[in-house]
Amino acid sequence: MLQTIRHLVLAALIVALGSAARAADTFAVDPVHSSVSFMTSHAGISYIHGRFNDFSGKFVIDLADPAKSSFALSIKIESVDTNNKKRDDHLCAPDYFNAKQFPTMTFQSTQVKPVDDGYDVTGDLTLHGVTKPVTFNLKGGKLAEFPKGTQRVGFVTTPVIKRSEFGVSAGIPAVGDEVHINIGVEAVKE
């Protein structure tokens, strides 16, 4: 009887340790089902919209201890697309993004806090060679299986940054300083 109890305790411990080891899952951003777009004021009368077509990222989601989760995103500056090649080329030039010297914009989380409907995420945003801490709300986190056998997680966020704080001041005030960012991502479990 004692040996049976030991076996049950050992089996329970193995299951518990196995569950703990699997509590954190890594997800890779699926660019086909994701988007990174932005808009900024033009002459104070309308907005210019754009997007980035080339980006990647990884999320580590720890459901047992959400503070151990992490989020990273990398965006290739040369993939900027405002539906106007001349404007896109100008945005990649030295007076705006300077894509040759600073080819990527990155975000790496440093703190994750669970909140209703998602997470408050603080991290380092690097743009134009300047790194600044930012905090934004990620809504979502629902897990889904699509297609069968593929686990996905999705998030949306709409932060606003001031580009002048990252050394991108060309055209202000005719081109707005505040940039409204819209990120919607799906990520696939690795």
**Nearest-10 Cα torsion for 173, 183, 33, 168:** 40
* Measured distance CA(26)–CA(56) in Å, rounded: 14
Burial of 116 (0-12, 13-18, 19+ CB in 10 A): exposed
Task: Report yes or no on 4 lying in a domain.
Answer: no
Q: What is the pLDDT of residue 22?
A: 54
Task: Report yes or no on 42 lying in a domain.
Answer: yes
Q: What is the pLDDT of residue 23?
A: 74
Q: What is the pLDDT of residue 26?
A: 98
* Measured distance CA(3)–CA(7) in Å, rounded: 6
Range of the domain at 178: 24-189
pLDDT values of the chain reduced to their tens digit, one per residue, 190 residues:
444 443 433 344 344 444 444 579 999 999 999 999 999 999 999 999 999 999 999 999 999 999 999 999 999 999 999 999 999 999 999 999 999 999 999 999 999 999 999 999 999 999 999 999 999 999 999 999 999 999 999 999 999 999 999 999 999 999 999 999 999 999 999 9
Q: What is the pLDDT of residue 128?
A: 97
Q: What is the pLDDT of residue 37?
A: 98
The two three-digit tokens of residue 143, written as one number: 């897990």
Tell me how many domains the chain contains: 1
> Phi/psi of residue 97, each to 5°?
-75, -25
Task: Report yes or no on 88 lying in a domain.
Answer: yes
Q: Residue 185 maps to which CATH number?
A: 2.40.128.110
Task: Report yes or no on 1 lying in a domain.
Answer: no
Task: Report yes or no on 8 lying in a domain.
Answer: no
Task: Report yes or no on 107 lying in a domain.
Answer: yes
What is the model's pTM?
0.86
Task: Report yes or no on 2 lying in a domain.
Answer: no
- The answer to whether the beta carbons of residues 57 and 188 sit under 8 Å apart is no
Task: Report yes or no on 71 lying in a domain.
Answer: yes
Q: What is the pLDDT of residue 80?
A: 98
Q: What is the pLDDT of residue 105?
A: 98
